[in-house]
Structure 1
Amino acid sequence: MLVPMMAKGRTPTPSEGGSTARRKQMSLKKLLIQRYGWISRVGKMMDESAPPEVSPVRRGYRGVMLQAGHIIPFSANGHSVLRKMLARFVGQDMEGLLICENINDPSNALLLDELTHTAFGLFKFSLECQDDRYLFRKFAPYQKLPSEVPRHRDDEEIIFGQASRSVGRPLPLLCNLHHAIARVLWASGAAENIAKAFADEDELRDAYGSASYFQRELRALPGLDELAIDGQDDTEDLYTEEGN
């Protein structure tokens, strides 16, 4: 389960993946801006396309292109093994939350800058929901986090929904699922090993071939779930489908 959660079947950005992916990503981003306003709740960055009338609040914020980042990866939509493992992990059916349009629902997304989005996808931090409060949880050392993330202290409450309550907040179940997986990844030491395997795969793809090299590195990791390894064929299919 841990491997495909970090795999490259990730959120398509507006600049890749074809016109359908761009439309869906931009539509989701617009909904998130309705909920948050033009400043990301995590990272405290302002979208560079913010209109002039919000300029008084630009002071102290650097303008960047914000993205809609999925809490549970976009890849779950087409990865049946991953969905089954997630259902076992939480003890309830996840199909209705993770397929078709629901994977792109605002309840499964955060508005983030690119570097913070990447750190979240690698489980370097998470959001834990307790008593209707969203708490920032740090896992990676601060020196391995993008400079925006250390603005938040561990256990800091992140407030969602100031701009519009017509768009739903992040679903607590999904936030807590991401948080639980992050705890397993960092407690086991697997997070950095898996991330390194993906980085090495990028560098050596031409020399070794994607699947064979990646699976060889994964099998070298102690205690890796065999089902996650077997599920790599599904993950490789997702790379092709999403243009990665």
Structure 2
Amino acid sequence: MDQHALALLKAAESWDWPLAYRIKSSGGQDSKFKAIMPKLLSGFITESQSLGGTLVDQFWVVVGQCHPQLEENIKILRRIGFYSPRHSEIVLFDGVERETINFSPIFEMGAELFTHLCVAFMNPGGPKSRSGTPFSVSDFIAKDTDELLDIAASEGLGTRKQAALKALIFKRDGQSCPLTGLSFDTEDSVKPHLAHIIPNSVHNKPDTIKCIAMLAGTAVRDLVLEQLNDLGNLLHIELNAHVAYDDIHWGIEALNENGVVRFSSSTYFAITHRSPKVKYIYRRVPYKTAKGPGIIRLHDGDQIVFGGGPEAARLGPGPNPSLCNLQLAVARVLRMSGAADIIAQIKDDGDDSDFPHVYIASPAFCNILTAQLQLAGGVFL
């Protein structure tokens, strides 16, 4: 059914997609938003099939809500093979006048994915790791691994936990950036930045968690909930690489020993489990052959080497592979569909650094407020 879905969405690129009020009032983004929606849904369906999610099944449920006859025609599509995009479209709309179809449920699904996945992943939020914490990380590195694990498990989201996690990643991955090859040295301003594979912005957002389950399956959803602020979701990288990651310019593809990207929850290497064989691959988003961006020394397709620390055998060879593949899937859809460009513009619209010069109730103030509501997870409907 994924091929039928992709055929339908290709045809949908010519549809007259309705617009959300906030999009209409947000700096002329309306036509761009209309253009990306079919590509956005197609991209998420394709990525979901690779990750083992159920998004394509939900898509057909939503299509069936657009007209009673469509439910019957979808049953026929399920029984026949895929022949061509045109054939799929003819079978789906057989006996249905297009003017009587209410496509709103499909539009709403696209807007929901845009809001709760694209915006959430490209607007990381949460605390950034900069020069350090009130606790000396070097002091924590000297602690026994068991003690660090106990601190990380018992300290909630506080700075003491962050210091313990930073120390554990040094013990797992070593003292250099796996992307740039630079050795961390605070005296030379090469500082380790604690990067989250899945951004902090998904924390306490049930709609985003629901979309993650639909995209990648419930096992991956559970891993996100369990590991969002733990060792499996973290790595140390240099600032230049961190900024490029937050801006969705690269990601990590994790492959198992058979070259497959899908990982079940049973293969996740929690601290108390032995790790499966995992190969981490550097991916430019979108694909480019040159090194970079910035001072990143890797080309697309190069292996990223984690696990160079003294406790790698115990703490695992690197970050959680399922979380890496989830982030990369969303990043690809963001860039492929054009959603990244729209969100970048919304972030610019929401910049209130000149707020003292903007009058309340002025058009500029309203645009800033609208953009900030969108970035905070306001639904684009």
Q: Could you say which TM-score interval applies, normalised by the shorter chain? A: 0.7 to 0.9
Report 1:100-139 matches (<5 A).
Answer: 102-131=227-256, 132-139=278-285
More strand by share: 1
- The structural deviation recorded for 1:136 is 0.5
Determine whether 1:87 maps to 2:213: yes
Q: Secondary structure at the match of 1:153?
A: coil
Q: Note closer, same or farther for the CA distance 1:172–1:231 as it changes in structure 2 (3 Å cut).
A: farther
Structure 1 distance, partners of 2:131, 2:175, is 20
Determine whether 1:65 maps to 2:191: yes
How many residues were matched structurally?
A: 209
The percentage of counterpart residues that share the same residue type is: 28
1:206-242 deviation digits (Å, cap 9, x = unpaired): 23265423457x8xxxxxxxxx64189xxxxxxxxxx
Q: Of residues 321, 325, 334 in structure 2, which corresponds to 1:172?
A: 321
- The structural deviation recorded for 1:45 is 2.3
1:87-126 deviation digits (Å, cap 9, x = unpaired): 11102244532336x3121211121112211211221101
Determine whether 1:188 maps to 2:188: no
Q: Note closer, same or farther for the CA distance 1:71–1:8 as it changes in structure 2 (3 Å cut).
A: closer
- The structural deviation recorded for 1:80 is 1.6
Q: Secondary structure at the match of 1:45?
A: coil
Tell whether the 8 Å contact from 1:13 to 1:22 is kept in structure 2 after alignment. Answer: no
Tell whether the 8 Å contact from 2:350 to 2:371 is kept in structure 1 after alignment. Answer: yes
Tell whether the 8 Å contact from 2:129 to 2:195 is kept in structure 1 after alignment. Answer: no
Tell whether the 8 Å contact from 1:16 to 1:22 is kept in structure 2 after alignment. Answer: no
Q: What are the ranges of 5 or more consecutive residues in structure 2 without an aligned counterpart?
A: 1-116, 136-156, 257-277, 359-364
Tell whether the 8 Å contact from 1:24 to 1:104 is kept in structure 2 after alignment. Answer: no
Q: What are the ranges of 5 or more consecutive residues in structure 1 without an aligned counterpart?
A: 51-61, 219-227, 233-244
Q: Secondary structure at the match of 1:64?
A: coil
Question: TM-score, normalization: structure 2?
Answer: 0.48
Structure 2 distance, partners of 1:144, 1:189, is 23
Structure 2 distance, partners of 1:21, 1:192, is 34
Partner residue, 2:370: 212
- The structural deviation recorded for 1:159 is 1.6
Question: TM-score, normalization: structure 1?
Answer: 0.73
1:16-74 deviation digits (Å, cap 9, x = unpaired): 99996433332221111111111011222222249xxxxxxxxxxx6511111000012
Tell whether the 8 Å contact from 2:134 to 2:159 is kept in structure 1 after alignment. Answer: yes
Q: Secondary structure at the match of 2:315?
A: coil
> In structure 2, what residue type is equivalent to 1:92?
T
Determine whether 1:198 maps to 2:347: yes
Structure 2 distance, partners of 1:157, 1:123, is 19
Structure 2 distance, partners of 1:130, 1:176, is 9
Q: Which has the larger Rg?
A: 2
Larger mean CA deviation between 75-84 and 127-136 belongs to 75-84
Tell whether the 8 Å contact from 2:178 to 2:304 is kept in structure 1 after alignment. Answer: yes
Tell whether the 8 Å contact from 1:69 to 1:111 is kept in structure 2 after alignment. Answer: yes
Partner residue, 2:302: 156
Partner residue, 2:164: 27
Structure 2 distance, partners of 1:67, 1:97, is 23
TM-align CA RMSD:
3.2
